[in-house]
C-alpha cells in the first residue's frame, strides 16, 4: 500500500497498485534524463566556448554506437512505461466477472448512481452532499470495502469525467456510449470524487465523495436506501411500452425465428452479422442496435427495426440495457 506522499493521496485501489510505482519510475527517469541532457549541454558549452583552444579539426560526422544507444535506451524505457501503464489500465477496464455493478450517469451538474443488483439509486448534487454530510450519512458514491466494483458510465448531455484520485482512477463519461472502469477499495473511508472535464457553469458543483463502508455497513445502508431512495426506472416497463416485445422474445423457451433476435441470454452472446463479422454483445452493441439498428444486423434478420434514437431518454435507454443484460443471467434483472 502506498502511503500518502508529497505528490498524491494514499492509494486505496487494489486494481491500481502499479500506478504509484510507475509514477515514481517516470519521475526518476525524467530527473536522470534532465541531469544527463542538461549536464552534457553545459559541459559542451563550456568546453567548446569561443575562447577555448580545444582542437576543432576533424569533427566526427557520425557515430553508429552513440546513435544506436540513444535510440535503444529511450525505446526500452518507453516500452517499460507502456507495458506497466497498460497492465493497470486493462486491469481497471476489464473488471472481475463477479464485480458489483454501478451505473454512473453524469449530467449538468450532478451524478446519478444506479445499483441494478440492489434496485437503488443515489444522487450526488451539491445540496445532497451538504445535507448528507451534515446528517452524518454516506455521501456520493457508496461502495463496500474489498469488493470489485464495475462502473458503467454514460452522460445525458456533455462530456464529464469521473476522477477519484485515491483510486488512481479517471474515466470520461461520454454521450451516446458507455465507458467502463472498475476498482476495488482496500480501505474504508471517504475520498474525493471530482468531475474533471470542464462541463459548464457549475462544473465545480460536480465535486462529491466516494464513501467506502464495511460490508456490513453497506448491507444495512442498502436496506435503508431501498425503503426510502428513489428507485431507478424499470427497464421491463420501457421494454413493454416501447413495443420491443412485438419482434423480440425474452423468454427462455421461445421458439427459434421471429422478426428480431430472441433476447434471452443476449448479453455476452457471440453473434454472426450479415457482414460475416462476429461480435460479442455488450453494452455498446445493445445501445447501437437500439439507436441505429441497421448498423450491425445479426445474420438471418432483415433491416426492419426502426431507430429509437431520441425516442428514449438516456435514463430509459440505460434501464432498458440493464433489463436486457439481466435476461437469462444468474444476476436477475432488477425489480
Ligand atoms: Cu461535469 Cu465537469
Expressed in angstroms and rounded, the spacing between residue 203 Cα and the centre of ligand 1 is: 4
Rg of the chain (C-alpha set): 26
Expressed in angstroms and rounded, the spacing between residue 164 Cα and the centre of ligand 1 is: 13
Q: What is the pLDDT of residue 332?
A: 45
Q: What is the pLDDT of residue 334?
A: 40
Q: Summarize pLDDT for 217-260 with one digit per residue, the tens.
A: 999 999 888 877 566 678 888 888 888 888 888 887 777 677 88
Query: In terms of DSSP bridges, do strands 179-184 and 270-272 run parallel, antiparallel, or are they unpaired?
Result: unpaired
Q: Is 106 in the pocket of ligand 1 (CB under 6 A)?
A: yes
Ligand 1 closest atom vs CA 204: 2
Q: Distance of CA 52 to CAs 38, 39, 41, Å?
A: 20, 19, 16
Q: Is 199 in the pocket of ligand 1 (CB under 6 A)?
A: yes
Contacts of 317 (CB under 8 A, 6+ apart): 287, 290, 291, 308
CB 176 within 8 A of CB 214: no
Q: What is the pLDDT of residue 140?
A: 92
Rounded to an integer, what distance in angstroms lies between the CA atom of residue 11 and that of residue 3?
7
Q: What is the pLDDT of residue 229?
A: 58
Q: Pick the range with the lowest mean pLDDT from 29-33, 62-66, 305-309.
A: 305-309
Q: Is 104 in the pocket of ligand 1 (CB under 6 A)?
A: no
CB 116 within 8 A of CB 322: yes
Q: Is 195 in the pocket of ligand 1 (CB under 6 A)?
A: yes
Ligand 1 closest atom vs CA 206: 1
Q: Is 162 in the pocket of ligand 1 (CB under 6 A)?
A: no
Ligand 1 closest atom vs CA 106: 1
Expressed in angstroms and rounded, the spacing between residue 151 Cα and the centre of ligand 1 is: 17
Nearest CA to ligand 1 atom 1: 160
The DSSP result for 70-134, as a single string, is: HHHHHHHHHHHHHHHHHHHHHHHHS--TTPEEEEEEEETTEEEEEETTTTEEEEE-HHHHHHHHH
Dihedrals φ, ψ of 271, to 5°?
-120, 140
Q: Distance of CA 17 to CAs 85, 92, 110, 146, 237, Å?
A: 11, 11, 29, 14, 42
Expressed in angstroms and rounded, the spacing between residue 250 Cα and the centre of ligand 1 is: 37
Ligand 1 closest atom vs CA 196: 2
Q: Is 160 in the pocket of ligand 1 (CB under 6 A)?
A: yes
Angle (CA) 49-52-55 rounded to 5° is 110
Beta bridge partners of 100: 149
Instruction: Count each helix (H run) and each strand (E run) in the chain, helices first.
Output: 7, 12
Query: Mean pLDDT of all residues in the chain?
Result: 87
Beta bridge partners of 149: 100, 183
Which secondary structure element, helix H or strand E, spans residue 280, and what is its range? strand 278-280
Looking at the whole model, is its pTM more than 0.75?
Answer: no
Ligand 1 closest atom vs CA 200: 2
Q: Pick the range with the lowest mean pLDDT from 92-96, 211-215, 324-328.
A: 92-96
- Tell whether the model's pLDDT for residue 4 goes beyond 80: no
Expressed in angstroms and rounded, the spacing between residue 191 Cα and the centre of ligand 1 is: 18
Q: Summarize pLDDT for 133-161 with one digit per residue, the tens.
A: 888 889 999 999 999 999 999 998 899 99
- What per-residue string of b and e applies to 121-131 under the rule 16 or more CB within 10 Å gives b? bbbbbeebbee
Q: Is 177 in the pocket of ligand 1 (CB under 6 A)?
A: no
Q: Distance of CA 111 to CAs 69, 107, 141, 147, 161, Å?
A: 50, 6, 9, 21, 11
Higher pLDDT, 124 or 98: 124
Q: What is the pLDDT of residue 293?
A: 87
Mean pLDDT along residues 96-111: 88
Q: Distance of CA 117 to CAs 13, 93, 269, 282, 332, Å?
A: 22, 20, 21, 18, 8
Q: Is 105 in the pocket of ligand 1 (CB under 6 A)?
A: no
For cell 554506437, what's the residue?
Answer: 65
CB 1 within 8 A of CB 14: no
Mean pLDDT along residues 119-134: 87
Amino acid at each position: 500500500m502506498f502511503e500518502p506522499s508529497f505528490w498524491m493521496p494514499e492509494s486505496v485501489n487494489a486494481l491500481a497498485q502499479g500506478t504509484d510505482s510507475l509514477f515514481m519510475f517516470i519521475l526518476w527517469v525524467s530527473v536522470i534524463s534532465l541531469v544527463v541532457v542538461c549536464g552534457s549541454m553545459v559541459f559542451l558549452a563550456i568546453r567548446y566556448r569561443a575562447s577555448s583552444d580545444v582542437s576543432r579539426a576533424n569533427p566526427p560526422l557520425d557515430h553508429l554506437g552513440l546513435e544506436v544507444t540513444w535510440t535503444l535506451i529511450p525505446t526500452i524505457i518507453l516500452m517499460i512505461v507502456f507495458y506497466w501503464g497498460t497492465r493497470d489500465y486493462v486491469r481497471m477496464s476489464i473488471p472481475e466477472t463477479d464485480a458489483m455493478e454501478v451505473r454512473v450517469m453524469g449530467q449538468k451538474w450532478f451524478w446519478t448512481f444506479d445499483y441494478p443488483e440492489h434496485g437503488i439509486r443515489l444522487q450526488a448534487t451539491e445540496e445532497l452532499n451538504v445535507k448528507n454530510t451534515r446528517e452524518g450519512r454516506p455521501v456520493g458514491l457508496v461502495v463496500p470495502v474489498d469488493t470489485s466494483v464495475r462502473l458503467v458510465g454514460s452522460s445525458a448531455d456533455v462530456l464529464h469525467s469521473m476522477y477519484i484520485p485515491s483510486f488512481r482512477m479517471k474515466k470520461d463519461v461520454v454521450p451516446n456510449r458507455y465507458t467502463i472502469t472498475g476498482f476495488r477499495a482496500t480501505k474504508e473511508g471517504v475520498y474525493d470524487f471530482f468531475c474533471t472535464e470542464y462541463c459548464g457553469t457549475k462544473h465545480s458543483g460536480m465535486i462529491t465523495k466516494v464513501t467506502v463502508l464495511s460490508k456490513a455497513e453497506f448491507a444495512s445502508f442498502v436496506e435503508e436506501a431501498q425503503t426510502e431512495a428513489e428507485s431507478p426506472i424499470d427497464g421491463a416497463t420501457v421494454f413493454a411500452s416501447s413495443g420491443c416485445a412485438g419482434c423480440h422474445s425474452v423468454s427462455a423457451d421461445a421458439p427459434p425465428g421471429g422478426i428480431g433476435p430472441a433476447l434471452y441470454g443476449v448479453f455476452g452472446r457471440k453473434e454472426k452479422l450479415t457482414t460475416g463479422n462476429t461480435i460479442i454483445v455488450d453494452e455498446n452493441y445493445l445501445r447501437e442496435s437500439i439507436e441505429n439498428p441497421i448498423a450491425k444486423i445479426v445474420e438471418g434478420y432483415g433491416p426492419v427495426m426502426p431507430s429509437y434514437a431520441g425516442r428514449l431518454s438516456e435514463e430509459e435507454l440505460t434501464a432498458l440495457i440493464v433489463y436486457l443484460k439481466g435476461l437469462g443471467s444468474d444476476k436477475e434483472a432488477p425489480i
